[in-house]
Amino acid sequence: MGSPKLFRLLTTCAVLVSLFSALLVAGNSSVHASGGSTSVSAGPASKVSPDLRKLIDSGHGNDRVHLIVRANSASQGLVGSLLELLGGTVKAVLSNLNIRIVECYANSADVVAADPGVAYVSLDAPVHTLGHVTETTGARQSRSWRNGLGLSDTLDGSGVTIAILDSGIDTNHKSFSSISGKIKFSKDFTDENRTDDRYGHGTHVAAIAAGAGAPTNGGYEGIAPGASLVSLRVLDSDGVGTVAGVLSALDWLISNKGTYNIRVVNMSLGTVAINSYKNDPICNAVRKLVDSGVLVVAAAGNNGKDVNGQKIYGAIHCPGNEPSAITVGASNSYGTDPRTDDSVTSYSSRGPTRSFAVDDYGLKHFDNVIKPDLVAPGNKIISAEAAGNKLVNEYPELETHKYSTNNMKLMYLSGTSMSTPMVSGAAALLLQANPKLTPNMVKMVLMYTAQPLAGYNTLDQGAGQLNIAGAVTLGKLVKTDVLLGLLGPSFGSNLLTQSAPAPETTISAFNFPWAQGLILNHTCITGKDLITKYQVSYGKGYLLGDGVVEGLTTQNLNGSMWTKPGLTLGGYLMRSDGTPLGGGSIFMSNVLLLGDGFALGDGYALGDGYALGDGYALGDGYALGDDCPLGDDGTGMQ
């Protein structure tokens, strides 16, 4: 056998030759016309995330950092050899996501990105938390239903498992321990090697989604109390995690979703959305989960206003900026069951998404996707309190004093973190009522039946406020066989088992109309065909926005993916008057969201607020706003 030194020398030479070839190819980036727009082939510069580039350019290139290296395929190309040559190490391999977590010098990023087998290199940034509801959401009036055998049953999420990516769950709390096997599995993805909840966020979130109601005689029951839970602890005892930890949990989910029948993933957490969703590793992992049939529900964030109380647009967090996820903002029900006075909270992050890609010429291309998709109650929500948690220790006023024993205590929290599990629980109810629904079908049903809140625009509330009663009414009518078969459903075929229900719901004697429309990337779409006919975008592997053909100033429907003329694209984002989607006064033209978002510039005035810049305004690309534990000033308690 040859000398190890000789072998290493030969390996190094081979790596350098391959790298030189890669750099030559990357240096010949070309610009060519494609469909009337400019397309730039990706070179090393465009494959390095903006926050990592800023770190290097600010003189910190010699800092040791953790990087997320995503490959084009399962093959990692030259990455391993390059890292050894550059003095770096591989810390973890996430095979389902084609990702390696590596430790190296920051300025090694360009060399790694030059490998043709590498798709994107980004910085491992911090991830933080973002935080009588069954009555006001309509969950309680949906509890009784007719199952597939025509028998009366309880709609409570039974048979569906929700994965909670958070700070862990206090399994001894009565919200979970009163039902045997409620929590199917727990795993830690921090370096603390524990699965309990010292921070207090995860327990609160999990109980909103699926907490048992019996211990409190139904007073503080979760949306889907019959659903099972899987706890994936990605936030530590201080409520902080890493992108690498979240990716590790998502990688685990892809491998184990079938074992635990995980149909819904709740992500009441986030990091600043700097990288375009097309490049961001968390967004890519979320898309892979959704394409496989798992619904992902993400918090919008809590940066809806600046320190002076002025409204901010464009502060949606990652992974809330991912189009395939259901992104949830926070509404305020003021502690009352009727929905006549409900509003969007001041802190709820608003769209459009301001994540972006940078091409080899240094130009930024903004996503400008309309988010959130809908809002749900999130202000001063009462839910389970983990024993001895940090949040209550720091904010004693969060304690409700309703129960004295440790495993029965309840606490208040506010934020889009609390709104998100409302929607996750609603999704579990829909999937119990109709297990054949795809993630896109669930998303469509929830948006179509949402209640538009008067006085709020599309970027404030998406389609409107969560309406579980209406969603269940519509969701259980979707044909259970329409999504079966090797060839799939027929485009334009009947979607419902009977005629469409009246597009309205009554909750606590208040009747309101449904949105009767959807949010599609940079526009809205309305029409009864959304629920009476099957659309191609409802299947797996699509975005709901697929089939909208966009130019720099125009949008049109692709007739092979959406039925025409039964559907209508909106030309404007509206300030709702409480009528179906599209009603009210014009807020802005959706043309401002097109053309890579250049028209919607930094600081652009939107009538009642301003647009954020490139993400760095939220703390130089790192810091996140925590939940708003005390809620909006002067509001009621829920």
**Active site residues per annotation:** 166, 201, 417
Angle, in degrees to the nearest 10, between helices 79-86 and 4-27:
110
- Cis peptide bond prior to 319, omega within 30° of 0: yes
Q: Which two tokens stand for residue 426?
A: 């609603």
CA distance 476 to 113: 48
Residue type at position 350: R
Q: Which two tokens stand for residue 285?
A: 């992992």
In 137-203, at which residue ranges do the beta strands (DSSP E only) sit?
A: 144-146, 152-154, 161-166, 183-188
Burial (Cβ within 10 Å: 0-12, 13-18, ≥19) of residue 636: middle
CA angle 203, 209, 213 (to 5 degrees): 85
Task: For residue 297, list its beta bridge partners.
Answer: 266, 326
Residue appearing with tokens 């184990």: 256
Q: Which is it for strands 364-366 and 356-358: parallel, antiparallel or unpaired? A: antiparallel
Backbone angles phi, psi at 517, to 5 degrees: -165, 175
CA distance 246 to 59: 28
Q: Which two tokens stand for residue 334?
A: 């003021």
Residue type at position 337: D
Contacts of 385 (CB under 8 A, 6+ apart): 173, 200, 203, 204, 392, 399, 400, 409, 410, 411
Q: Which is it for strands 311-313 and 152-154: parallel, antiparallel or unpaired? A: unpaired
CA distance 373 to 139: 19
Residue appearing with tokens 């309101």: 512
CA distance 436 to 413: 34
> Taking a C-beta distance cutoff of 8 angstroms, is the pair 109, 122 a contact?
no
Contacts of 396 (CB under 8 A, 6+ apart): none
Contacts of 494 (CB under 8 A, 6+ apart): 479, 482, 532, 533, 534
Which of 124, 128, 356 is CA-nearest to residue 248? Answer: 124
